[in-house]
Amino acid sequence: MSRVAKVVVLDNDKQRCIDLSQAIQKLGPDVVSGDFQQGPREFLEKKGTVDLLVVSLDPSVNVEELPEAIKDHPDPLIYVTPGDGQVSEDQLTYVKGEGYDTVAREIVKQLEDPPL
C-alpha cells in the first residue's frame, strides 16, 4: 500500500474498541475508533471516506440490531466478533480469531485482498 489505509473501528465496548484499534494500528493502518451508540451516522459523516469499517460486537448482538447508518454504509464492512456470531447480511464479512492480534491480521488482509 502506497498510502496509509484509513480504518474505523466501532464497538459497543470501549476497552475492546481500544484493544482492537491498537492491534490494527500496529500493522500499519490509520485507525479511528469510537462508540457506535453515540450517533454512528454523524460519526461516519465526520470521518469522510474510509477504506474499511470494522464493527466489533458482542456475539449476543444480532446483526439486525446494527444501527441503520452502519448497515447502509457504502464502504467495505467487516463484522468482527471474538465469539461465534452468525452473520447473514451479504455486505458483512465475518472474521474470527483468537485474540486481537489474530483478528487484526485478518482485518488488514481484507484491505490488501478485498472480498469479491
Judged against a pLDDT cut of 90, whether residue 63 lies above it is answered with no
Count how many residues are written for the chain.
Answer: 116
Note the pLDDT tens digit of each residue in 32-49.
776 666 555 556 666 666
Judged against a pLDDT cut of 90, whether residue 26 lies above it is answered with yes
Going by C-alpha positions, the residue among 83, 66, 68 that lies closest to residue 16 is 83
Note the pLDDT tens digit of each residue in 104-115.
888 888 777 655
Note the pLDDT tens digit of each residue in 77-101.
666 654 334 444 555 666 666 778 8
Q: What value does the mean pLDDT of the chain take?
A: 68
The grid cell for 107 is: 482485518
Domains of the chain by range and CATH?
Answer: 6-112 (3.40.50.2300)
